[in-house]
Amino acid sequence: MAGIELLSDQGYRVDGRKPNELRKIQARMGVFSQADGSAYIEQGNTKALAVVYGPHEIRGSRSKSQHDRAIINCQYSMATFSTGERKRRPHGDRKSSEMTLHLKQTFEAAILTQLYPRSQIDIYVQILQADGGNYSACVNAATLAVVDAGIPLRDYVCACSAGFVEDTPLVDLSHLEESAGGTQLSLAVLPKAEHLALIEMDSRLHQDHLESMMDAATQACKDLYAVLDRVVRDHLQEVTTSIGE
Amino acid sequence: MLKSKTFVKKTRSGGIMKIVREHYLRDDIYCGSAACSVCPQKDQVLQRDTNLESTLCARPHYLMPDTNVVMHQVDILEDLVISNVIILQTVLQEVRHRSAPIYKRIKDIIHNTEKHFYTFTNEHHRETYIEQEKGENANDRNDRAIRVAAKWYTEHLKNAADKDLRVILLTNDRKNKEKAEESGLLAYTCEEYVKSLVANPELVDRLASIPDNENVIESGRIIFQEHFQLSRLQQGIKSGTYLQGTFRASRDNYLEATVWVHGDNAENQEILIQGLKNLNRAVHEDIVAIELFPKDKWMAPSSVVLEDEGTAEDNIQFSLTFQLKMEIQESMLKNWRQYCGMLSKSQIKEAKKHLFTPADRRIPRIRIETRQASTLEGQRIIIAIDGWPKNSRYPNGHFVRSLGNVGNKETETEVLLLEHDVPHQPFSQAVLSFLPKMPWSITEQDMKNRIDLRHLFICSVDPPGCTDIDDALHCRDLENGNVQVGVHIADVSHFIRPGNALDQESAKRGTTVYLCEKRIDMVPELLSSNLCSLRCNVER
C-alpha cells in the first residue's frame, strides 16, 4: 500500500507540525553532581544526556597531548532500549564511531581550547530514546553541559536536522520522517555569527534545493538557540538564588 | 499541545515493536468559510451562499460526507452541481489507505477551486481531536471523529457566521446516522439527500447502488477461485471432465482468451474463455486445465477492443455483461519468463507498490514493489512474475534490471531482442575455443578429397560490401550445347563438428538476425565473415 504522506496538501506533517516548526524542547542542566558539567535535553521524543569532565590532566597516553591546546575526547553511545528494536552494540559500531568523530570536530571548533594547553576535556553523550535528530540532540545537550561545566565557548553550538519533501524543506525530522527515505541534512551552527561548525548530508539532493534547505536549518538553529539561552538563564537564576540563601 | 500516540506493530520477522509517536494539536486551523468572522484565515474556500437547494434543509448548508460515501459515491461528488463540501482529514486518510484511484479523484476535485471543497485537518485541531476509547475499534473511533468534527462545525458556524449556515453529515451507515441525530446533528443518507435536490434530478442516476450488507472493498476479499490440486486435475483429464491445453491471451481484449486443446487425433480445438473470474489468473502460454460449460452458455468472441486501464483496483464488476463460458481450474505449468516494459507510477506519492505495463499486450499488468520508482519512470525495465494470489487483481512480481531510457536506440533494440527471444550475447569462451586456428589454408588432405573448381567463373549476388557471402553461382556452356548451372555453398560442417559447443550455440540461434545498424551472427565472425564466406580471390 502507499507509504506515509510526509506533508499534507494543507501543509501539515505527520505529527501536525508545519514544515518550519521544531518539536517541543525541554532541557535541564546540572543533573549529575559528580561531573563537572551535565545536561539533559528532550527534543520531542528524542532524549539525550550529556556529561562533561574537564579540563584535567591527560589520562592514558602522553603522546596525544598538544602543547598549546586542550584535546577533546568524545564518546557517543545509545542505550540498548533507545530504539524500537533492542540495540545490541551500544557503542563501537560504525554509526557511533562516526557520530563521535563529528561531535569531536564540532566542539573543537567551538571550545576555546587554547586556554588549556596540555589538558583534556571529556564529553560523554548518551541517547536514552532515539526518535530522529540524534546528532542534533547530542550537540545541544553537550553545549549545555559544557556551559554548565564553565568551559569557555566561542558561542553556543546549536544543531538541527532538515529534510526535503516536494520543494519544501522540513525541519527537525522525527524518526518516521527520517526512515521514509529522502535527503537528510544535519547542521551545527554558532548562531550569532551564523558560523557553520558541521554539515552532514545523506542521500542525493538537487543543488538548487541546497540553499533553501540550509536556510531553513539555520533559521531553526537560531530558534533553538533562543530556547537554549532561556534554559541557561533560568538555570543560572535558580543556582544564584539557592546560593544566595 | 502535545499528545502521544502509542501502538504496537508486528515486524516482518514476526517480532512485536512498540511505536510511540508525537501528535501535536494546534489552534490555528481555521474553518475555511467565507461567512465566518472569527477565524483570521487567508483563503476562504467555502462560500457564503451555497446554491444547493434541498427540500430536506431550507437554509444554506455545507456537506460533510463520511468515508463510505466518498468511496462509493465519488461520481456524485464529482458532479458540477455539488459544491461547498467539507472533506475531513480522517476521511481523506482512510480513502488513501483503501483505494488509490478514488483518492486521486477526490484530490483532483479538491484542487478544482470552482467546486469549493475544503480539507479540514480535524486530527490536529485541538477541539476536534479524540482518542480511541477502551473497547472502541478503529472504525467506530473514526466515525466518532467525524461526528465530533460535524458538531464543532455546527457550533462554530452558529456563533461566528452572520448567516444561518448548517452542516449536513452524509452517511450511509445506519448506526452512525442514529448517533449523529441523537447529538443534534443533521444527518442524511446520500440517497435521501440526492433525491431531495429537486432542481437536479439527473443526479439520482449517478447514485451508485450499494446493497445493505456493506460491500466494503477490502484487500482481503477473494476474487478468484482456488486452483485445484494437480492430482485432481490429472484424474479429471483422464476421465474427460477437464481438458488440457495452452492458454493464449487475446491481444485486443484483456478479458478474453483462447485455449488450444491438445487433441490426440490431430484435432486441435480452440476454446474461448471470457471474463476475469473465469480466466482465473492464467498468463499467456501457460498450460492449463479447463472445464467446459454446458452448450447453452457458449458465446462468440467479443468484437470490442478492451484495454486494461487499471482504474478499478480490486473491482470485478466488468464481467457482468458477459455470459460465463469456461473456468480455468489450474495453471498446470507456468511458463513465466522475464518481461520488458515500463512502469506506471502509482498516483499516491511515496507509494512503494506500482503497476508495470509489459510491452507484450497479452501479458497482464504486474504489481511490483520498488523504492526507486522516480528513477525508473522513464526507462524500459525487466520484471519477473513471482505469483498471483487469489485475492489480487494483478500478479505480483519483482524488478530484475533496467535497460535504459525510453527512445534510446540501444534500449529499444535490446527490448525488441528480449521480447522476441533472440539470443544476442557475445559468444562464450567455450564456443570460441572450437574455432579453427588462423592462418588457415587448404591442406593436401583437403585437395585430395575434394573436386577443384577454381577454374570456373563463380560469382555471388550479395550486395557490394557484404562480408558474409554464403552462396555463389556459376553458369557455363557445355560441349553438347547444354548449360551447366552450379550453386556453390560454403562447407560449414568442415569447421563446425557435430555436438560441440559451437554447434549447439549455432543451433540455438538458428539464424542471423539483421537489424538496422547491427547484425547478430548465428556463427562467430571468424567463420561467417571470413572462412565460410565465399570471398573473391581467396581459396575457400
| Among the ranges given (B315-319, B342-346, B389-393), the one the predictor scored with the smallest mean pLDDT | B315-319
Query: The dihedral of CA B441, B444, B449, B451: what is its sign?
Result: positive
Q: Which CATH number fits domain A13-244: 3.30.230.70, 3.90.79.10, 3.10.20.30, 3.30.450.20?
A: 3.30.230.70
Beta bridge partners of B186: B168
The reply to whether residue A5 touches residue B349, judged by beta carbons under 8 angstroms, is: yes
The owner of cell 471432465 is B241
Nearest CA in chain A to B355: A1
Average pLDDT over residues B413-419: 85
The predicted-structure confidence for B133-181, as pLDDT tens digits, reads as follows: 888 888 899 999 999 999 998 888 888 777 778 888 999 888 888 998 8
Distance CA B355, CA B358 (A): 10
Please report residues of A whose CB lies closer than 8 A to that of B23. 15-16
Q: Which three cell numbers stand for residue A142?
A: 553537550
CB contact under 8 A, B89 and A16: no
**Which residues of A are less than 8 Å from B393 in CB distance?**
none
Report chain B residues whose CB lies below 8 A from the CB of A85.
11, 15, 17
- For residue B92, the model assigns a pLDDT of 92
pTM (2 decimals)? 0.64
The C-alpha cell 464481467 sits at: B319
Nearest to B350 among A4, A10, A45 (CB): A4
Residue A148 CA to residue A141 CA, distance in Å, equals 10
Residue B218: pLDDT above 50?
no
Give yes or no for A14 touching B (CB within 8 A). Answer: yes
Nearest to B96 among A2, A17, A166 (CB): A2
At residue B421, the pLDDT reads 80
Among A116-125, B19-28, B283-292, B480-489, the minimum mean pLDDT is found in: B283-292
| Cα A35 to Cα A21: distance, rounded to the nearest angstrom | 34
If one compares B174 and A48, the residue with the highest pLDDT of the two is: A48
Question: What percent of chain B stands above pLDDT 70?
Answer: 88
pLDDT at A183 over 60: yes
Q: At what angle do helices A134-149 and A207-244 cross, to 10 degrees?
A: 30
* CA dist., res. B398 & res. B368, Å (int): 5
> Average pLDDT in the B182-198 region?
86
Confidence at residue B210, expressed as pLDDT on a 0 to 100 scale:
53
**What is the torsional sign of CA B314, B318, B324, B328?**
negative
Strands of the A46-57 sheet, one edge to the other: A25-29, A37-43, A46-57, A119-129, A71-78
Q: Coil, helix or strand for B300?
A: coil
Is the per-residue pLDDT at A117 higher than 80?
yes
Comparing B304 with B235, the larger pLDDT belongs to B235
Taken in order B405, B408, B412, B413, the sign of the CA dihedral is negative
Nearest CA among A207, B346, B348 for reference residue B357: B346
Q: What is the pLDDT of residue B295?
A: 72
pLDDT at B313: 34
Predicted confidence at residue B321, as pLDDT, reads 24
Judge whether B126 is closer than 8 Å to chain A, CB to CB. no
Q: Is the pLDDT of residue B235 over 50?
A: yes
| Per-residue pLDDT tens digits for A186-240 | 999 999 999 999 999 988 888 889 999 999 999 999 999 999 999 999 999 999 9
Distance, in Å, from the CA atom of A33 to the CA atom of B11, rounded to the nearest integer, reads 41
pLDDT at B385 over 90: no
pLDDT tens digits for B332-372?
Answer: 556 677 788 888 877 777 667 788 888 888 888 888 877 77
**Averaged pLDDT score across all residues of chain B:** 80
Measured between alpha carbons, how far is A104 from A73 in angstroms, rounded to an integer?
Answer: 7
What is the grid cell recorded at B257?
482468451
pLDDT exceeds cutoff 80 at B225: no
What's phi and psi for B382, nearest 5 deg?
-110, 135
- What is the least distance, in Å, from the CA of A26 to any CA of chain B? 13
What would the DSSP string read from start to end of B232-292? Answer: HHHHHHHHTSEEEEEEEE-SSBTTEEEEEE--TTS--EEEEEESHHHHTT--TT-EEEEEE
User: Closest by alpha carbon to B7, among A79, A176, A19, A24?
Assistant: A176
Which of B11, B24, B106, B355 to mutate to test binding with chain A, by most A CBs within 10 Å of its CB?
Answer: B24
Instruction: Mark yes or no for CB contact A12/B121 under 8 Å.
Output: yes
For residue B209, the model assigns a pLDDT of 59
Contacts of A12 in chain B (CB under 8 A): 121, 124
- In SS3 terms, B394-455 reads as CCEEEEEEEEEECCCHHHHHHHHHHHCCCCCCCCCHHHHCCCCCCCCCCCHHHHHHCCCCCC
pLDDT tens string A60-90: 777 888 889 999 999 999 999 988 888 777 7
Lowest-pLDDT range of B67-76, B156-165, B201-210, B442-451: B201-210
Q: How wide is the angle at C-alpha B493 spanned by C-alphas B491 and B497, nearest 5°?
A: 155
The pLDDT value recorded for residue B40 is 84
A5·B350 Cβ contact <8 A: yes
Q: How far is A174 from chain B (nearest CA, A)?
A: 9
Task: Write down all domains in chain B, each with its CATH number in brackets.
Answer: 2-206 (3.40.50.1010), 230-325 (2.40.50.690), 338-419 (2.40.50.700), 429-531 (no CATH)
Q: What angle do CA A86, A90, A228 make, to 5 degrees?
A: 100
Tell me what pLDDT residue A2 has: 52
DSSP string spanning B93-113? HHHHHH-HHHHHHHHHHHH-G
Closest CA to B86 of B112, B61, B109, B118: B118
Percent of residues, chain B, with pLDDT higher than 90: 9
CB of A23 within 8 Å of any CB in chain B?
yes
Sign of the CA dihedral A202, A207, A211, A212?
negative
Q: What is the DSSP string of A134-185?
A: HHHHHHHHHHHHHHHHT--BSS--EEEEEEEETTEEEES--HHHHTT-S-EE
Given a cut of 50, whether residue B128 has pLDDT beyond it is yes
What is the four-CA torsion angle of B34, B38, B41, B42, rounded to 10 degrees? 60
Shortest Cα distance, chain A CAs vs residue B403, angstroms: 22
